[in-house]
A = this chain, B = another copy of it.
Amino acid sequence: VSDRPSEFALIARLFAPLAVDPAALGLTDDVCLLKHQAGCDLLVTTDMLTEGVHFLAGDPPNLIAGKALRVNLSDLAAKGAKPVGYLLAIAVPRSREYAWLECFARGLSDDQERFGVSLLGGDTTATEGPLTLSVTALGHVPAGTMIRRSGARPGDGVYVSGTIGDAGAGLAVLQSRLGEALRGVATAALDVSDGLLADLGHIADVSKVRITVQADSIPRSDVLRRLWPDQDGIVRAATAGDDYEIAFTAASEGAAIEAGRKAGIAVTRIGWVGAGLGAVLVDSAGQEIPVKQPGFVHF
């Protein structure tokens, strides 16, 4: 019922050409083999995307591929890591055309070149349900320099890269290598994926601090300012997911701004870290703005 070649032909035709790193062993074994990188720690992260939840059946396959890769590279970038490569597990409905998979592989190939990574391994299987993807990405940081979520301290400033609320493709921040520039500067960091306020709430939770965000300092694109001009619009931007910008805390404002300048990406101070718990949004008078749902909820 499908024009699709067998699993092995699929791997040989579409995926083996993406396995450019020798660590992938040409996809001929079930594993990839990473040699030790002197003086480095290895970071591993995984994210799963399902059709109907994280993307729609009609979305362009190359953009779905890019999203699957970028959500993971974004996690690595926020930790200050340099990406190395990724494994891809994909469950494909039996009716899915070969052309869809070809376009998907093209999207992977484009982003591999853009971000300097290689396919390292994976698994291709069938599903009775929606197409489901799982990417596991690997990256290196100089030993001991990984930026965690738990390092925010009262007195730190709170910063964000780029603009918030656009559900951007994460291209600029990933290409900027801001994460690497933030090693030794950021005290805590993560990528904005659940929504700015929810994600800063994660930092606040594990750092055991209170984060206050000044609503009118949140950087928004001109388009978004025109679309949602009032305070309600700021709340919407601060609680929308899928930004892939980096939010971080830092003790030195000068060093934070300078890291952005070096990486070639805007970094804006949006708040401060204090004693207490949770992340809150305040208006210019310092009054807390009530927020019903600080971010995207998966279930």
Contacts and interface: CB of A to CB of B under 8 A. Distances in A.
A174 to B, nearest CB: 15
A29 interface: yes
A126 interface: yes
Contacts of A81: 31
Contacts of A94: 299
Copies in the complex: 2
Interface stretch (A102-110, A128-136, A163-171, A217-225): A128-136
A36 B29 contact: no
Interface stretch (A42-50, A58-66, A277-285): A42-50
A129 B126 contact: no
A52 B127 contact: yes
A287 interface: no
A276 to B, nearest CB: 19
A6 B294 CA distance: 14
A33 B146 contact: yes
B53 A126 contact: yes
A143 B52 CA distance: 43
Contacts of A78: 30
Contacts of A6: 297, 299
A87 B47 contact: no
A143 B36 CA distance: 9
A190 B299 CA distance: 38
The bracket for how many chain A residues form the interface is 35 or more
A30 B45 contact: yes
A124 interface: yes
A41 B46 contact: no
A25 interface: yes
A38 B146 CA distance: 20
A149 B148 CA distance: 39
A288 interface: no
A126 B91 contact: no
Contacts of A255: none
A38 B38 CA distance: 10
A298 interface: yes
B79 A29 contact: yes
Nearest to A191: B30
Given A29-B149, A41-B35, A298 B124 contact: yes
Contact of A32 (B44, B54, B120): B44
Contact of A45 (B31, B79, B130, B143): B31
B121 A46 contact: yes
Nearest to A141: B33
Interface in A8-31: 10, 25, 28-31
Given A44-B136, A46-B134, A50-B128, 9 more contacts: A30-B79, A31-B79, A36-B36, A46-B123, A52-B127, A53-B125, A54-B125, A123-B134, A134-B136
